[in-house]
Amino acid sequence: MNKVNYAQLLAYRYLSDPKIKVVGYGGAAGGGKTGLGCEWLMRCGWAFPGTRWFVGRNNIKDSRESVLVTFDKVASYHGFKEYRFSNDGIDFRNGSRVSFLDLTYYPYKDPMFTRLGSKEYTGGWVEEAGEVHRLAVEVLKTRIGRHMNDVYRLEPKLLLTFNPAKGYLYDTFYKPHREGRMPEDTAFVQAYVYDNPFISRAYVEMLKNLKDPVLRKRLLLGEWEYEDDPSALCGYDAISDMFTNDFIDPYGAKSCSADIAGKGHDRFIALSGVGNVFRVAIDEVYSPGRQVEMQLRDLMIRDGIPRSLTVVDADGVGSFLESYLTGIKEFHGGGRPHDSRYKNLKSECAFLLADMVNNRKIKIICTPEQRERITEEFGVLKQARIDNDTSKKAIISKEEMKAILGRSPDYLDAFIMAMSFRLVSAGSVPETKVFSLHDLQQH
């Protein structure tokens, strides 16, 4: 190989291991991620004539610009000249090819990455995987091992390189690695900038001089537990566990909560719950008023949900629904809380939701794409004015959440409203109570 550090060598060994299908290589900046990927693809492409490989990033321009310079350096080190660059890839003189892939997520034009569905590759590499949608990676797993693998008896291999990031990389690589439960076909290598003896001093000094503490933790120290936000109400591991809390049984009252979207605004989200097990039952970009009414009516009938345990946001577009679906509950987020310690009803429900999440009392059933969005939205569930000990407990405004997410937190709003059925009037009791599943069934 090119000049290597120990982490790169370990990753290369995993890539050569027939039992390993997916290799994650991540950590600090300057850990040799791009060098590893270029070295691996160069060797594979030349060793196995006629094979097809790929390197993908969140857009094809970044793929070209980041890979070409490093590939040239690696090839020059080895004196390798049997290749040429094109606008969309690297062609070897033995007939092998490395294609540049655009892995941009287009939620309206191509939400399922169908453009990748007809591709066939021997193996490939996703660079800066933290910027790439989880679904793109899942689709690419189905496209490798399909071109001349049987001829050369090659196992399909997918390399992902990345800096520490919350989301699917944390769940797929770091957390299982930390807990000693990595699947047999998956490997993870933690890379640190100080492990790389060939990194320039100037680059390390630049990382040391980063002012943002989160960036310093991620890029200089390679830390995955980099978030130190005292205002965050839910721990990241607890958020991730919501989708795998299989010990929670669907037992108790059936309920529904819905966040209604107007034309050109937000999403129409409806949750169907049995006790504390929630399913995303409706997820529409926009539905006309009559269609919203019919969809909710059909959902309540299909899932056996009484109207008295159906709640909709009455502060927005959903304010008209109670006129047509008589008996459903209207949620006024700015309304009076049961417990006087909270600023309003929405804040009270949000704090209860966070408590249930952190204590692993909720299970969510949804698609992988919905999981991504829900995880992001629970990450912006933050306490407002945390340094003010005299103010009532409140969460940051929806406008602040939108500014962080770049969209409306519609799933989160639906879950917050669902908590309204789990509150009882505290009266003189010093803390908010939660219905037990039996109480909720009888209520």
Residues comprising the chain, all counted: 443
Question: Which residue is associated with the tokens 């008896």?
Answer: 153
Ranges of the chain with pLDDT below 70: 1-4, 28-31, 193-201, 203-208, 210-223, 226-229, 262-265, 286-289, 315-323, 386-390, 424-443
pLDDT of residue 297: 93
Give pLDDT, residue 121: 98
Provide the pLDDT for residue 342.
93
Q: Can you tell me whether residue 398 is helix, strand or coil? A: helix
pLDDT tens per residue, range 144-193: 999 999 999 999 999 999 988 878 898 899 889 989 999 999 999 988 76
CB 256 within 8 A of CB 272: yes
Element at 269 (helix H, strand E)? strand 268-274
Tokens at residue 191, please?
A: 């890379």
pLDDT digits (tens, 9 = 90+) for 318-344: 555 655 788 899 999 999 999 998 999
DSSP 309-345: GEEEESSSGGGGHHHHSTTPEEE-TTS--SSTTBSSH
Nearest to 62 by CA among 108, 130, 112: 130
Helical spans, DSSP H, in 79-133: none
Determine contact, residues 99/132, Cβ cutoff 8 Å. Answer: no
Integer Cα distance of 272 and 250 in angstroms: 11
pTM, 2 dp: 0.69
Residue 291's pLDDT is: 81
Q: 265 CB contacts (<8 Å, ≥6 apart)?
A: 286, 317, 408
Question: Is there a contact between 54 and 98 (Cβ–Cβ < 8 Å)?
Answer: yes
Residue-level pLDDT at 238? 93
